[in-house]
Structure 1
Amino acid sequence: MKKKNKSKWLVPVLGLALLAPTVLPTSASATPAKKVTSVEFVGMPAPATAQDMARVYSGASVKVTYDDGTIKSFPLTYKTLFKSTDVINGTPAGVAVDVHGKPIMDRSVPDKPVPFVSDDPDSNSLMKIDGAKPTGLGGNPLSLITHYEYITSDQSGKSAYGIIPASMSLSTIDQNKATGELSVTDVKKVDFSSVGGLWIPCNGSLTPWNTHLSSEEYDADARAYEADPAQTYVSSFTKNYYQDDKKVGNPYAYGYIPEVTVHADHRATVVKHYSMGRFSHELGRVAPDRRTVFFGDDGSNTMMFLYVADKAEDLSAGTLYAAKWIQTSDENGGTANLKWIKLGHATDNEVKAYIDKGIKFSDIFEAADHDTPGFTKIKTYPSGKLEWLKVKPGMEKAAAFLESRRYGAIMGATAEFNKMEGVAVNSKDKKLYVAMSYVEKSMEKDIKGTDASDDIQVKKIKAGVTYEISLEGHQQDKDNNKINSEFVPSLMKGLIVGEDLPKADEKGNTAVVDKVANPDNLSYSESMRTLFIGEDSGMHANNFVWAYNVDTKKLSRILSLPAGAEATGLQSVDHYNGFSYIMSNLQHPGDEMIIPEPLKTEVEGYINQNFDNKRSGLVGYISGLPSLEIKKWKNTNKPDVTLQVAAKANGAKVTWNNKEHTVTVEKGVNKMVLKVGERFVEINGETFELPSEIRVKKGRTTLPADLLDSFFR
C-alpha cells in the first residue's frame, strides 16, 4: 500500500462560490504559484427575448491575467439560495411577524387569512461566526442576515407599504468544503421586540468587527404626525406590530441604524444606535478605522452625514456631522468640496431618553409660516416644503439627533441631495463611493429663486451618477475644530455617469442601456479592485448589476434581472474558508414595468410563471470566479498517460463537451476540467498550467502521470 500524502492544496481564492481543493498533489509536482496582475469582467448583452427579460441570469465572464502574461477566462452564473416565499423548517423566509414573533395575517380576502410574506428581500450580510455549530451537512457553517424591506400589497392588491412591519431573517448556511456551494439549512426571524420593531429596512453592511448594520428608511414626519397621526404610517405600523388597535405610535422611535450581533449558538441580538442620527437611512458603512461611519440618506432634499464614534467598534456614542456642498463644477453630476458642520455629540441612552419621555415635534421647535426674525427658512425631507423654524432653548441635542436634517439645515448644511443611496469604501485608495440614483430636482439650479438655499446647481441627469469622494485626515469642521478621523470626505465628483435618452427605445428604455441607470446598491472588492453597482431603475426595462474596475475604468454588465425587479442585497465577500462570493438579491419582479405592449404582456406572463405571480423575491449570488493563482505543474519527465484508461481504472466518469471542447473528469466530490488546445487544467477550483498544450490524438487525451495519480488518490 502506498503512503498517502495528506497535505492539502491551499490557494488563496478570488472566486464566487468557488471549488475547494481536495486533491492531494505531491510536493514535487507544483512550483510556486503565479500571481494575478489584473481581473477584468467581460460583460454580457442586455436581454433580447421575452424569456430572458423575465428571468435572472448572468452571461458574463471574468478574464484573469497573471504575472507571466497568461490569460484565462471563466464564465459566471447566478445561483438562487431561496425565494422569499419558500418555507424553510416551517418558516416562510419573508414572513412578517408581530412583537411576539407570530405571523401577521392578511385578512383582506374574507374567509381566507394568510400570513403577510414579503416579495422584497434587500440587504445581505453573509458572515462567518467563530465557534458556530456544524450544520449537519458536513460543510462549514455560515450565517446570512437578510432584510425584507416591505410588503408590496395584500391579497386584494391594496398597497401594504409601510403599513405592515418589516422583518429580517437569520439563515443558517452550509458551505460545502469541497465546492464552496452554499445551501440553506434553517431560517428564523430576528427578534426586534426590544427596540419596538423594525421600520422599512433598506440596505445594510457588515462591520469590520463582524456585526450587521441595518437601516430604517423614510423616517416619518413627526411634525405631520403630531398634527394628524393618519398622515404617516406610524399608527398603522404600530397597531399591526403590537396587534393592538389602541396602541399609540411614536415617530421618533424609528429612523435609525440597528446593529445585529449573531452569536455562535445562532442567536441574534439587536440594538438601535440613536446617537447616529435620525433620517432616511439607506445604510451605514464603517471606515477602516472602525469608528467613522458614512451614510446614504434616501429621498428628496436630503443631506450627507458623517458619524465619528468615541471608541472603535462601539457605535453607542459619537459625534454627528452634516455636509456643506461647495460647488466647483456643474458637469457630470458636479464637483464640490465638502465642509462639515458639527451637529452635536450624544450617546444612545441620551437620545433614547427623549423618546421614552414621549417627546413631540413641538417640544423641540417653534414654527412660523413666513419670514420671521429669529426663525430660519429651510426646505428638507420629509416634508419637502418650506418651513420657518427655531430651536427651543435647551433642545439643541434633541434637534440634532431626532430631527437631524431639519437641525442640519438650520445650521447651514446642504439639504439638496436627491435619492442618495448606497455607499462603499475603497480602503487602499481612501475613496468613498456614493450612488445618487436621480440627479435632478433639488440638485438642479433653482431657477424660480424660491428655495431656502441653492448650494447644488448641477445639470440634470435623470439616470443618476455614482460619485467618488476623497477621504482625508487632519480636517476641521466649519468652526475650525478638529474632526477626529482620518477618513473625512472632502472632494466629491461624478465618476460613473448615466445617460438619458431623448425618447424611449423599442424596449421602453429611457436611459442608455449600456450605461448604469439609477445606481442604488454599491459594494467594493479590495482584492478585485472592482466596484459593484446594482440598479433600481425606472429607466431600464431590466435592471442590472455592473462591475466597474477602478484602475481601468471599464464598466461591465454582469447580471440581468427580470423586468420590474430591483437589484438588492449586493455584498462582495472575499475569502471565507478559501472561497469568495458576490451576494445579489432581487425584489418585486414585474413591478411597474416600462416595456411597451405587446412585449410587456408576454414578459409579464413569464414573470408570473417564474415568481409565483409576482409574489416572490429571490436571495442568491453570482457564481463562477476562479482561483487568483495558477500553479505550474512541474515536468518530472515521467511519461504521459491516457486519461480515459486511467479514469476507467479508477472508477471515474469522463464527459466530453463537443461545443466547448472540454473534458470533465469526476470521481466523488473531485472534479477536473480541461480544454483541448490549452495548457490549463482546473482541479476542484484550482488552476494548474501544464508543460504543454492538451491534445487529443486518435480520440485519446494524454496528461502527466503524476497529475492523474494525485487526482485519483
Structure 2
Amino acid sequence: MKRLAFSLIAGAVTLALTACNGDDGAQGQKGAQGEQGPTGQNGVDGTDGANGQDGANGQDGANGQDGKDGKNGSAGLVRIATVPNGAEVTGLYLTDKGDLFFNVQHPADSNTVAANGKTFNKGTVGVLTGVDFNNLPNNIVSSPVPATEQEQQTVITAIGQYQVLGQTGDVFSDLGAKGVTGGLGVHYGINTKQEIIKNDNPDFNGFIATSDNEGYLFTNWESYPGGMSRLKMSKDTKGTWSVTEAMMVNFDGVQGTAANCFGSVSPWGTPLTSEEWIVNSKVDTTTDASWNDPSDTRTDGIEALVAPDFPNPYRYGYIAEVQNPTSTSPDVVKHFTIGRYEHENSVVMPDRRTVYSSQDDTGGVLFKFVADQPEDLSSGTLYGAKLKQDAGLSDPAVTGFDIEWVELASGSNANIETWVAQYDNITTADYVEGKTSYISMADVQAWADGKATYPTEAEGGSPVTAGKPMDDRVAFLESRQAARLKGATAEWRKLEGISINHDRVLEAVTGQDLIAGEVVNKAYMYIGIADLDNTMIDDQGDIQLSARVKDCGGVYRAAIDNNYNLTRIEPVVMGATYRSSLTGAERCDVNQLSQPDNVIVMRDGRIIIGEDGFQENNTLWLYDPKSK
C-alpha cells in the first residue's frame, strides 16, 4: 500500500467597497450689490446628492463540502493518522458501531521508541478508541507530518487513541489455554507441523459482532504460507478493548493458503480472505509456467506448505470463505468459482450474489462473479471488465472509462476442483526443458478460440489435457489470460482494495431509508490504485493514461446500477505530479496521496484511505468526494 497526502486549503476573501457621500448642491449667486445698500442675501444651499451604493462584497472562498450537507466541512484530504517508519497502513475496517481497526504492517525492526508500553518494531494489529467514526465531526484538523523521532516511530492520530490489540509473536499468556500457541502470525507446515515463519505482515481485518460490545476480529497475515488470526474481544464503557481469546485459524482442510492479503466480510457475516502472490501472471504471454523446474522452484516458500511434497499451484490463488466464524473450529472453503489470480480482495453486493474482485498485478483485470443462489458462492458465472476510455482525455485526474462485461464461463467449486486435482501429483521429476507440466498458453488460446479439443503436446498443449475434449478449466485456473483473450481489459497496474458501504448501495438501489439525514440515490464502489504505471501508461490497449501521476497513484469510483452492475469508472482523487527527478519520498507530495492501497466507505459517504507507499511515514487519510 502506498501513501500520498493531499490537503486543500479553502480561503475566504472579503472585499468591501465603502459608500461615498453625494456632493453638496451648487451655491446660489449673490445678489447685486447696491451702492451703499445692504448686502444681498446668500443663495439657498442646494440639496445633498443621493448617497452612492455600497460596493458588492467579494464572495467567500468555497469551503470543502462535508459528507452530509456540504457545509462547514474540512476540505479535501485530512490526515487521520500516520504509522511508524517502514510500515504500511493495512487492515482498514469500520464496524457498525463506528470502531475503526487498522494495522501497522512490517514496521522497521530498528524502531525503539515506545508509546503506551508498546514498541512498533513488529507487525501490529490495533484500533482507534474514544471516537465513533459513524458520527465523525466535519472539522477535524489533520495530524502533523511526523518530525521528531517519537512521532516517526509511533502512531500519531488526529482523533482518538490507537490501542494495540496484538503484535507478531504475542501468545497472550495471561489467557492460559485460550492464548495462541506459538503466537500471532506464526505459520506451520501442513505436513511437518513445524514453524515456518513469524509474520510481520498483518493485513485485512474483519469484525464479526456477537453483541453491541463483543465479537471476533479476524486478521490476515500475508506471507507464504498464509494465515489468519481470530481474537475474541470485548469493549468497556470507555471504548477500550480487551482480548479474551486468541487463535490462528486452521487452514489444513484446504491444504493451506498463500499470502492472505486484504479481504472483506460478506453481508451474511463471513470473512472472505484473499490469496495473492502465487499466480504470478506475466504481461509476456508467450511464457508458460515452469513451477516444477528443479533448478528454479522459487515460489517464495510456498513449497513449505506441504513439504516434503511439491505443491499444486492450482490449489492457491483464490477467495477463501471462513464459514461458521464464531464456532470453536471455523470451516474454510476456497471458492474456485471466483477465479484464480492475484486477489487483493472481493466485495459482495447487497443482492448477496454479485461479487467484484480486484487483481493486484501488472496487467490485471477487474472481475465480476454472479452466484447462482444468494449467500452461496459455490457456483455461478465469471466475467471480466472491458473498458472504454473517454475520448480525447488522458490525464488521470479527469479521465474515466465506460464498462462492458465479458462472460468467461460458469462453473461450481465441485467440478473445478476435479480439474485442480489432476495437477496434484506433478513434481520436479515431471519437468521437461522447454515444456510445461501445467496449462499452456496454447491451451488458453484454443479455449478462447472455441476449439473442440485441447492441442496435443506437439502443438504446445499440456500433457494433462493434450488432445482431450475442451472444458472451461482455463477460465477458472488461468483467469487473467482467459479474460484477456476473450477481450476483457488486462491492463490495470496494482488494482488494490475495493469497497462499498452496504447500506448506501442498498438505499440507492432499493430506495429504502437507511442513511439518516441523507437521501442516497446514487452509490459507488471505490477502488484504490497504488501505481498508475506500466500497462496503464504504455499507449497501448484500452487504458492509455498520461504518466503525470504515475507511482503516486489514486482512487477511482465505479457507478452501480439497479442490477448491482458496474457501469462506469471515474477518478475521485489522484496523487500529485510524480517527480522522477527526485528520489525517495519526495517523488510524491507528502500532503497528497502517495500509493493508496485499502479504501473503505463510511455511512456519510466519506472514504478512508490507507497508504502503501514510499513516504517516510505512510498516512491514513479521510477524504470527502463531495469536496471535488
In the alignment, which residue of structure 2 is the partner of 1:524?
601
Q: Compared with structure 1, are the counterparts of its residues 141 and 497 closer, same or farther at alpha carbon in structure 2 (3 Å cutoff)?
A: same
State whether residues 289 and 440 of structure 2, in contact with CA within 8 Å, keep that contact through their aligned partners in structure 1: no
State whether residues 447 and 472 of structure 2, in contact with CA within 8 Å, keep that contact through their aligned partners in structure 1: no
In the alignment, which residue of structure 2 is the partner of 1:51?
150
Give the paired residue count. Answer: 447
Residues 497-517 of structure 1: CA deviation (Å, up to 9, x unaligned): 001343677984210111111
Residues 189-224 of structure 1: CA deviation (Å, up to 9, x unaligned): 111111110101110111111100000002335932
In the alignment, which residue of structure 1 is the partner of 2:416?
351
Q: Compared with structure 1, are the counterparts of its residues 424 and 391 closer, same or farther at alpha carbon in structure 2 (3 Å cutoff)?
A: farther
- 1:415 lines up with 2:490 in the alignment: yes
- 1:467 lines up with 2:560 in the alignment: no
- Determine helix, strand or coil for the equivalent of 2:552: coil
In the alignment, which residue of structure 1 is the partner of 2:517?
none
Structure 1 position 445, deviation (Å): 3.3
- Determine helix, strand or coil for the equivalent of 1:330: coil
Distance (whole Å) between structure 2 residues aligned to residue 211 and residue 339 of structure 1: 30
- 1:125 lines up with 2:206 in the alignment: yes
State whether residues 96 and 104 of structure 1, in contact with CA within 8 Å, keep that contact through their aligned partners in structure 2: yes
Distance (whole Å) between structure 2 residues aligned to residue 311 and residue 101 of structure 1: 39
Distance (whole Å) between structure 2 residues aligned to residue 37 and residue 234 of structure 1: 44
- 1:308 lines up with 2:370 in the alignment: yes
Task: Decide which of 91, 95, 98 is 2:186's aligned counterpart.
Answer: 95
Query: Which one-letter code corresponds to 1:127 in the other structure?
Result: I
Query: Which one-letter code corresponds to 1:350 in the other structure?
Result: N
In the alignment, which residue of structure 2 is the partner of 1:283?
345
Task: Decide which of 399, 403, 406 is 2:474's aligned counterpart.
Answer: 399
Distance (whole Å) between structure 2 residues aligned to residue 431 and residue 51 of structure 1: 39
Structure 1 position 140, deviation (Å): 4.2
Distance (whole Å) between structure 1 residues aligned to residue 582 and residue 439 of structure 2: 51
State whether residues 438 and 463 of structure 1, in contact with CA within 8 Å, keep that contact through their aligned partners in structure 2: yes
Distance (whole Å) between structure 1 residues aligned to residue 315 and residue 584 of structure 2: 44
- 1:173 lines up with 2:173 in the alignment: no
- 1:544 lines up with 2:619 in the alignment: yes
Query: Which one-letter code corresponds to 1:294 in the other structure?
Result: Y
- 1:79 lines up with 2:163 in the alignment: yes
Percent identity, aligned pairs only, is 30
Distance (whole Å) between structure 2 residues aligned to residue 516 and residue 297 of structure 1: 21
- Determine helix, strand or coil for the equivalent of 2:472: helix
Structure 1 position 126, deviation (Å): 1.4
Residues 49-107 of structure 1: CA deviation (Å, up to 9, x unaligned): 2331222121x1xxxxxxxxxxxxxx4222211112222225311111222694515xx
Task: Decide which of 512, 525, 528 is 1:432's aligned counterpart.
Answer: 525
State whether residues 375 and 388 of structure 1, in contact with CA within 8 Å, keep that contact through their aligned partners in structure 2: no
Distance (whole Å) between structure 2 residues aligned to residue 175 and residue 183 of structure 1: 6
In the alignment, which residue of structure 1 is the partner of 2:402?
337
Q: Compared with structure 1, are the counterparts of its residues 536 and 268 closer, same or farther at alpha carbon in structure 2 (3 Å cutoff)?
A: same
- 1:211 lines up with 2:300 in the alignment: no
Distance (whole Å) between structure 1 residues aligned to residue 130 and residue 538 of structure 2: 53
In the alignment, which residue of structure 2 is the partner of 1:586?
none
Task: Decide which of 137, 149, 161 is 2:222's aligned counterpart.
Answer: 149
- 1:324 lines up with 2:386 in the alignment: yes
Structure 1 position 289, deviation (Å): 1.4
- Determine helix, strand or coil for the equivalent of 1:457: coil
Q: Compared with structure 1, are the counterparts of its residues 358 and 79 closer, same or farther at alpha carbon in structure 2 (3 Å cutoff)?
A: same
Query: Which one-letter code corresponds to 2:421 in the other structure?
Result: D
Structure 1 position 149, deviation (Å): 0.3
Structure 1 position 275, deviation (Å): 0.5
State whether residues 282 and 295 of structure 1, in contact with CA within 8 Å, keep that contact through their aligned partners in structure 2: yes
- Determine helix, strand or coil for the equivalent of 1:500: coil
In the alignment, which residue of structure 1 is the partner of 2:59?
none
Distance (whole Å) between structure 2 residues aligned to residue 273 and residue 374 of structure 1: 22
Query: Which one-letter code corresponds to 1:490 in the other structure?
Result: T
Structure 1 position 40, deviation (Å): 4.5
In the alignment, which residue of structure 1 is the partner of 2:588?
511
- 1:500 lines up with 2:577 in the alignment: yes
Residues 231-281 of structure 1: CA deviation (Å, up to 9, x unaligned): 45459423x223x32x12111110000001244444321000001100110
Please give the TM-score of this superposition, normalised by the length of structure 2.
0.65
1:368-383 aligned at under 5 Å gives the runs: none
Q: Compared with structure 1, are the counterparts of its residues 342 and 231 closer, same or farther at alpha carbon in structure 2 (3 Å cutoff)?
A: farther
Q: Compared with structure 1, are the counterparts of its residues 269 and 465 closer, same or farther at alpha carbon in structure 2 (3 Å cutoff)?
A: same
Structure 1 position 288, deviation (Å): 1.5
State whether residues 98 and 135 of structure 2, in contact with CA within 8 Å, keep that contact through their aligned partners in structure 1: no
Query: Which one-letter code corresponds to 1:129 in the other structure?
Result: T
Distance (whole Å) between structure 2 residues aligned to residue 542 and residue 36 of structure 1: 27
Distance (whole Å) between structure 2 residues aligned to residue 202 and residue 492 of structure 1: 24
Structure 1 position 38, deviation (Å): 6.6
Structure 2, unpaired ranges of 5+: 1-95, 101-127, 173-178, 282-287, 427-435, 450-459, 509-521
Distance (whole Å) between structure 1 residues aligned to residue 131 and residue 443 of structure 2: 66
Structure 1 position 354, deviation (Å): 0.4
Structure 1 position 304, deviation (Å): 1.0
- Determine helix, strand or coil for the equivalent of 1:306: strand
Residues 100-119 of structure 1: CA deviation (Å, up to 9, x unaligned): 694515xxxxxxxxxx3111
State whether residues 609 and 622 of structure 2, in contact with CA within 8 Å, keep that contact through their aligned partners in structure 1: yes
State whether residues 129 and 163 of structure 2, in contact with CA within 8 Å, keep that contact through their aligned partners in structure 1: no
- Determine helix, strand or coil for the equivalent of 1:422: strand
State whether residues 212 and 260 of structure 1, in contact with CA within 8 Å, keep that contact through their aligned partners in structure 2: yes
Structure 1, unpaired ranges of 5+: 1-11, 22-34, 61-74, 106-115, 131-138, 151-161, 377-386, 447-452, 474-485, 554-713
Q: Compared with structure 1, are the counterparts of its residues 15 and 216 closer, same or farther at alpha carbon in structure 2 (3 Å cutoff)?
A: closer
Distance (whole Å) between structure 2 residues aligned to residue 454 and residue 357 of structure 1: 35
Q: Compared with structure 1, are the counterparts of its residues 391 and 217 closer, same or farther at alpha carbon in structure 2 (3 Å cutoff)?
A: farther
Q: Compared with structure 1, are the counterparts of its residues 193 and 332 closer, same or farther at alpha carbon in structure 2 (3 Å cutoff)?
A: same
- Determine helix, strand or coil for the equivalent of 1:551: helix
Distance (whole Å) between structure 1 residues aligned to residue 352 and residue 447 of structure 2: 40
Q: Compared with structure 1, are the counterparts of its residues 50 and 409 closer, same or farther at alpha carbon in structure 2 (3 Å cutoff)?
A: same
Distance (whole Å) between structure 1 residues aligned to residue 386 and residue 352 of structure 2: 24
State whether residues 500 and 525 of structure 2, in contact with CA within 8 Å, keep that contact through their aligned partners in structure 1: yes
Query: Which one-letter code corresponds to 2:234 in the other structure?
Result: D
Residues 150-186 of structure 1: CA deviation (Å, up to 9, x unaligned): 2xxxxxxxxxxx4xx121111111222x223212122
State whether residues 364 and 392 of structure 1, in contact with CA within 8 Å, keep that contact through their aligned partners in structure 2: no
Q: Compared with structure 1, are the counterparts of its residues 186 and 101 closer, same or farther at alpha carbon in structure 2 (3 Å cutoff)?
A: farther
Query: Which one-letter code corresponds to 2:573 in the other structure?
Result: I
State whether residues 280 and 342 of structure 2, in contact with CA within 8 Å, keep that contact through their aligned partners in structure 1: no
Distance (whole Å) between structure 2 residues aligned to residue 101 and residue 182 of structure 1: 36
- Determine helix, strand or coil for the equivalent of 1:208: coil
Task: Decide which of 499, 514, 534 is 2:610's aligned counterpart.
Answer: 534
Structure 1 position 48, deviation (Å): 1.6
- Determine helix, strand or coil for the equivalent of 1:119: coil
1:214-229 aligned at under 5 Å gives the runs: 214-221=273-280, 223-225=288-290, 228=293
Structure 1 position 44, deviation (Å): 1.8
